[in-house]
Amino acid sequence: MGKLVSNYLYTVIYQLLLLLTPFILTPYISRVLKPEGIGTDAYVLSIVQLFLVFAILSIPMYGSRQIATKQTVEERSKEFWSIYFIQLFISIITLVVYLLFALTANEYKSLFFIHIFTLVATTLDVSWYFIGKEQIKSVTTRNILVRLVSIVLVFTLVKDIGDLSYYITINAVTLFAGQLIMWIPLLKEITFKRIAYRDIKIHFWPIIGLFLPQIMIQVYTLVNRIVLGRVSGEVEVGYYNQADKVVRIALGFITSLGSVLLPRMAHEFSQGNTESMKKYIKYALQFVLLITLPMTLGLMGIAPNFVTWFLGNEFNAVINLLIIMSPVIFFVGLANIFGIQILVSTNQQNKYAIAITIGAILSLITNFLFVSHLASTAATIALLVAEAVGAIIQMYFARKYFEFKNFAGMFIKYFVLSILVFFSVSAVDKFINISPLLVTFIQLFIGVCVYLVGLIVIKDSLIVTIMNTVKSKIVPKRKDKHKN
């Protein structure tokens, strides 16, 4: 459990940097690139990411799971090269197809060529090996370094909407450099193995099985943007993209738990430790409910004031999108537990794929029916539909690994406290007339205080455990000092 907590803390440190990065960059970029530049970047990137999906398949998820089940250097080396050969082969094919697409593109051709670095970076991505070994520190350190370099370069080189190509180049090249760096510690840990066809074949179909739901995920995350751009224009894509970007910041804390827990769950399953799995799931569910519900209601409460100063008056349309999109935080949190931690780690990819596919189909239907009338609002509703439906179906499939009565009790408890958070932060915006930036910080402070006090009053088991742990660390030190 200690290593699990340590890995999560390292991942959260990186997510905190991700949280700070938009707080530093987004207000600047929104004002420099304007809605048109933001929308163009989002539109181009959404097309590039469709190629990225095929380049990487489901290898990060599958690879980390497989590495977690291997005990020796020999076993891990053979497993790594067997899986990476598939990644390399598919990535090269995808890159060739992408080059043909870029050469024939009618618009944004230069921007598509810059993203070649993004595709090559995906080809070099071996972070799944370190995640599988639960060496999160290596991945986190790399990511922090890359993120800091990109921040400095953006402020230095991006000055107006004409510098959009510089902005895209910085993001693509720093990503490429970061992936390349990871090969240095990798080659120190593994040995080169000659791989036979049968070694590759045993991984191919399981990877494809996990890849199918990844395609469906892209249907409602990327196709939404493409359809929106074609029907309503780049400005509406810019609105949608900024709302989505804010929500994704909050989701970083949830995805951190996923990347840390998956290898551990896969290992426990491979050893047949079902009871141990249920214990981890119980703690994970409690943690996800404890943080996603106040995040969801809190974000809805601060949205009007937050968008005003964070994005600027040109992005006022994002306020309603952000309020509608906020529940995605909660549903993605649930899907992370029921889908990734339970269904994927226990080799039930088919059920995971069914849930994602149904959500994606409903998302597409919603988008096509309403996008011409509601523009970015339709894309936002479509995203919410996909995440909600997918999470509920995954919950049903994973029902034997958790107690629904216990889950419902925790949900009601945290939801009631989160409603108090919503009303408290909303009241601040109505009754305090000062700088919008300062109002947001006051809202966050009051929201956190209200929630923590509520957790202490109801004697929440997770909070009590944390308080007792902290107390046990402090009290012995005081006793030792008193003796001296």
Distance (Å, rounded) from C-alpha 67 to C-alpha 170?
Answer: 32
CB 211 within 8 A of CB 357: no
Alpha-carbon distances of 152 from 12, 145, 162, 214, rounded to whole Å: 22, 11, 19, 33
Residue 231 neighbours by CB under 8 Å, 6+ apart: 371, 372, 375
Question: Quick one: tokens of 89?
Answer: 């082969």
pLDDT value, residue 481: 54
| Cα–Cα dist 310/9, whole Å | 27
Q: What is the pLDDT of residue 401?
A: 85
The position carrying tokens 């006090």 is 453
pLDDT per residue rounded down to tens, the chain (484 residues): 445 555 455 555 555 555 556 567 777 887 888 878 888 888 888 889 889 888 887 788 788 878 877 778 888 888 889 999 999 999 999 999 999 999 998 888 999 999 999 999 989 988 888 877 777 666 677 777 888 888 889 888 988 888 899 999 998 998 898 888 888 888 888 888 888 888 888 888 888 877 777 777 776 677 777 788 888 887 888 888 888 888 887 776 676 555 555 555 656 666 667 777 777 788 888 888 988 999 999 999 999 988 888 887 788 889 999 999 999 999 998 998 898 888 877 878 789 889 988 998 898 899 888 988 888 899 999 999 999 999 999 999 998 888 889 999 999 999 999 999 999 999 998 888 888 889 999 999 999 999 999 999 988 887 777 777 666 656 555 555 555 5
Cβ contacts of 277 within 8 Å, gap of 6 or more: 265, 268, 269, 345, 346, 401
pTM confidence score: 0.71
Instruction: Label each residue of 91-156 as H, E or C.
Output: HHHHHHHHHHHHHHCCCCHHHHHHCHHHHHHHHHCCHHHHHHCCCHHHHHHHHHHHHHHHHHHHHH
Report residue 101: phi and psi, to 5°.
-65, -45
In the chain, what are the domain boundaries?
A: 2-475
Q: Say if CB 93 and CB 126 are below 8 A apart.
A: no
In terms of phi and psi (left: phi > 0; alpha: psi -120 to 50; beta: otherwise), the region of 233 is left
Chain length of the chain: 484
d(CA 95, CA 222): 19
Model pLDDT, residue 334: 92
pLDDT at 2: 47
